[in-house]
Amino acid sequence: MTTLAPRIPLTGGTAIPAIGVGTWPLNDDEVRAMCLTAFEIGYRLVDTAENYRNEAGVGRAVRESGLAREDVFVTTKFNKTWHGDAVAGVEGNLGRLSLEYADLVLIHWPNPDQDLYIHAWEGLIEARERGLTRAIGTSNFKPEHVQRLIDATGVAPEVNQIQCNPFTDRTAERAFHEKHGIVTESWAPLAAGTGLIGHPAVWEVADAHDVSPAQAVLAWHLQQGLLPIPKSSNRERLAENFAALGLQLTDDEARTLTALKSSDYHLMDSDHFGH
């Protein structure tokens, strides 16, 4: 019997798996194959986006998987083109996915230079009311961006997906999220290409449990109450990442990884970057 990830309740009444798979920059064929493999391993959360250009492949995998639609949690995102008409943006997502609804739709970036993200949020609330998506949230929003949404609508995002890993643990953002019942989802959870996975402290923790450095870092995310979405198209690595669910770090080990915080890590500034 396939082991599944526990689910985290969302404020809107649904629940999201505690670990998922990212899909950028895979193309439609690659992402279809990866998702089908991930489903066999036990993953039930897939993260895609309009700008990844692979929603069609994700949708095909969901339909071909043999799994009940309600058992798979599909997250997608729309870009700044749709901040003025979020309902149309979500309808575009669903058209490319060839699915009747998404489980979670996120505003991909706030793009404050446009100053339309409140309008986009109002449209996303409407999309949820129409049944186009079961949950709604944001991606790369700073606390001040989210606060504007709450002040304008009285509705907080159910999820905010942000860049987060031991090099940049986003303490202030996570505290803000917790105050408002927002689940923190981690993109770039392994900080690929930055030296995190090769860091001696990470290896020391991994060796203590006879696991890979990636598993140690993903276990850190899970024990912090974060929801990581690592990306891999390799079956062994997909299985390895998923197995982090069964790993328990000691408090000292978790603190060791948290202490890796680095001012040298490049954090994307959503006041100045977005699409």
Question: Catalytic residue positions?
Answer: 52
Q: Omega into 166 within 30° of 0, i.e. cis?
A: no
DSSP 14-54: -EEES--EE-TT--HHHHHHHHHHHHHHT--EEE--GGGT-
Query: What is d(CA 209, CA 136) in angstroms, rounded to the nearest whole number?
Result: 37
With residue 179 as reference, give the H or E element that holds it: helix 171-179
d(CA 80, CA 78): 7
Looking up tokens 């999201």, which residue turns up? 16
DSSP H or E stretch at residue 56: helix 55-64
Q: Considering only CA atoms, which of 87, 148, 154, 77 is closest in space to residue 108?
A: 77
